[in-house]
Structure 1
Amino acid sequence: MDELLPCNNFNRKIIHLDMDAFYASVEIHDDPTIANKAVIIGQDPRQSNGHGVVATANYLARKYGVRSAMTTMQALRLVPAEKLVFIKPNFEKYRRVSDKIHQLMYEITDAIESVALDEAYMDVTTNKMGNFSALELATNLQKNIYRETGLTSSFGVSYNKYLAKMGSEYAKPFGRTVILPDDALEFIASQKIEKFPGIGVKMQEQLHELQIYTGADLQKQNIKFLLDRFNKAGYIIAQQAKGIDLRPVISKRPRKSLGLEHTFDVNIYDYDKLLTWLRNYSCELAQKLRTLNLQTRTVVIKLRTADFITITRRSALAVATTDAMTIYQHAKSSLEDEIDCVSGGVRLLGLSATDFEQKSYETLSLDLF
């Protein structure tokens, strides 16, 4: 029945990078005195009337049985009080660290699919670094992340996303796993069903009822049986059991610039009127940046004079921003540098932002925390 499955593709080189206990690791890095504590990211139930959910926990806390999505009250019962530290999540801090990590990834390839602040797929079949193996690229990235942030990560390398993710999970913490085409089926066979990405608790229970506990058990199943029993999900796990995953790494093409401009019906000679236009542009541009979860490091004004000469002036920001006043002040300064052109009349005025820092790795902080 293997003819029901698509042909495999062994030509790709995919890295799955996963930070180790990311939120907790960031907090421990900032406060080394809690390094030997069971650190739980979540609101202390003793201070929140028993409310709260574990966002993540360090590996010491996990040894006591603490898991993500567990209530913090349950976690409180599992860990000795003298070992326990609760920290309320600071997602703005975690986003800043995540941005640094993603910048290091973008030095290797633009084919990056971010799953969360701490997790991403990278297609390095072709990349920016030259003739290096995927293992060399991933190892160097792991070292650079540790050097730049002081945080550890794990990665898996294989010919598809599914196996790369299995590899990173297999390696944790601070590990690396390479799954080659010739080794894929054996590796899958050795894994418990609970280790298969995408197979949730409910399906695990259903598979256990069918005496399917490992990848080896799954590989023995008839594809039609899995289709009949689990519909589309059955077809997907049948592919996974054979090491097949044709999903591409889906990267969002980063915007190069974002801007506004207007050609006036009558040339503008009034400097204050041009500043009013710039203020309005700055507010609208700042709103657009926030909507797209972007920050800008460079503000550009564009002028077209009465005699149709076009002038652009770039102003670099010390810190990436979405703040309208900061954008306006830099635009105003650039306009002041061209005051002679302004006095001769302005036919067109534009304002744009470029050199973005991506801020799309958003995690919602809910009242649960």
Structure 2
Amino acid sequence: MLSDLPIRKIIHVDMDAFYASVEILDNPELKGKPVAVGGGGKRGVISAASYEARKFGVRSAMAGNLAIKLCPELIFVKPNFERYTEISKKIRKIFFDYTDLVEPLSLDEAYLDVTNNKKGNPSASLIAQEIRARIFNELGLTASAGISINKFVAKVASDYNKPNGQKTVNPEEVIGFLEALDIRKFYGVGKVTAEKMYQLGIFTGNDLKLKSLEYLDSHFGKSGSYYYYVVRGIHTSEVKPNRIRKSLAAERTFSENLSSEVFMLEKLEQIASEVSRRLAKSKVSGKTVTLKIKYSDFTLQTRSKTLHYFISDKALILDTAKDLLYQERLNNSVRLLGISLSNLNTETKKVIEQKSVSVQLKFGF
């Protein structure tokens, strides 16, 4: 039962169109115009789109040539990840003024546990409001936030009043909120899963709640129990400030398809160099090298090899990637290559223990 669980005060902060907003911040002449961060060529992919561009249907991960058809006035801007990282660090510094329990999901979003916060403020909603105001006043960017009793509900809620808004789902409102929610809004339910749920007559949280644990397990495997519990407001995952990196990767999409392994070696060398640079920056190494190959027909293949020792050197990464490339014949011409290193030597970090605090449902949000 939800009422039997300790209730935490969780905020999910999600920056609004982060990459595009940073570009507009640095180039004020772009303000009010449809902007896409990414490539606009035949092989370009959109990393982020301003809200003006989204009105035309432009979205992240969309091909650049399709985006320009939807929005002929679209302005393409080259990504500047060093700048995005710089801004992201400043945002996180604001977060840490309120709590040490900050779990970044990416450069532009994070969970904060403010149950016991540095400001001694009993209202998570007011803390979220203050954080968003500081981000705007100090950095000139807007953020949205979701506030609730656990990470799942907070994550869903943060998307409710975007852009530049927030939504609080109080403890007594959680069940009704989830029951009325469109199944597509459930975090963890992707397009394919949503279609499968539709076929099973599951369109809302209430429809999902009517299904038994056994039913969901039989149709969705390991994810079945996750769906069963989150729709009941039960999500016990704590905010983990020391998330340990599990892999590190780099990839390249080519302007023209590559049809021979010989032509791919130069590209692999560049990718291996980038992976090695990122490993050095993160001060990690790994044992498992994975080669990612996306063919011209968009089918994806991965080939992996685990070594007996940790590596981070470009030459060793490249040699292993070459072995994987020549491991078997290519199925088709290639449009993308990627290299990732996993099975890292990341030291186990101390996990901050959070003491469960029993709180009644009438909790100060």
State the Cα distance separating 1:131 from its structure 2 match. Answer: 3.2
Q: Are residues 176 and 88 of structure 1, via their aligned partners in 2, closer, same or farther at CA, if it must alter by over 3 Å?
A: same
What runs of 5+ residues in structure 2 fail to find an aligned partner? 245-277, 285-335, 339-365
- For 1:1-369, list aligned pairs within 5 A: 9-45=5-41, 50-80=42-72, 83-252=73-242, 290-292=281-283
Partners of 1:70 and 1:193 in 2: CA distance: 23
Secondary structure (helix, strand or coil) at the match of 2:46 reads: coil
Q: Are residues 367 and 170 of structure 1, via their aligned partners in 2, closer, same or farther at CA, if it must alter by over 3 Å?
A: farther
| Number of aligned residue pairs | 254
State the Cα distance separating 1:233 from its structure 2 match. Answer: 0.4
Secondary structure (helix, strand or coil) at the match of 2:160 reads: helix
Q: Are residues 243 and 124 of structure 1, via their aligned partners in 2, closer, same or farther at CA, if it must alter by over 3 Å?
A: same
Matched to 2:25, the amino acid is H
Which whole-Å deviations, capped at 9, do the CAs of 1:94-127 have from their partners, x for residues lacking one?
0111111000001111100000000000011111
Matched to 1:251, the amino acid is P
Partners of 2:229 and 2:279 in 1: CA distance: 42
Matched to 2:13, the amino acid is L
State the Cα distance separating 1:54 from its structure 2 match. Answer: 0.8
Secondary structure (helix, strand or coil) at the match of 1:216 reads: helix
What runs of 5+ residues in structure 1 fail to find an aligned partner? 255-286, 294-365
The root-mean-square deviation of aligned C-alpha atoms, in Å, is 2.3
Partners of 2:210 and 2:162 in 1: CA distance: 28
Residues 8 and 244, structure 1, Cα contact 8 Å, conserved in 2? no
Residues 43 and 88, structure 1, Cα contact 8 Å, conserved in 2? yes
Greater helix share, structure number: 1
Partners of 1:196 and 1:238 in 2: CA distance: 12
State the Cα distance separating 1:7 from its structure 2 match. Answer: 7.6
Normalised TM-score (structure 1)? 0.65
Matched to 1:52, the amino acid is G
Matched to 1:247, the amino acid is S
Q: Are residues 253 and 56 of structure 1, via their aligned partners in 2, closer, same or farther at CA, if it must alter by over 3 Å?
A: closer
Larger Rg: 1
Partners of 1:205 and 1:108 in 2: CA distance: 40
Matched to 1:241, the amino acid is V
State the Cα distance separating 1:6 from its structure 2 match. Answer: 8.5
Residues 44 and 88, structure 1, Cα contact 8 Å, conserved in 2? no
Residues 2 and 233, structure 2, Cα contact 8 Å, conserved in 1? no
Matched to 1:230, the amino acid is F
Residues 2 and 232, structure 2, Cα contact 8 Å, conserved in 1? no
Secondary structure (helix, strand or coil) at the match of 1:171 reads: coil
Secondary structure (helix, strand or coil) at the match of 2:158 reads: helix
Partners of 2:220 and 2:280 in 1: CA distance: 43
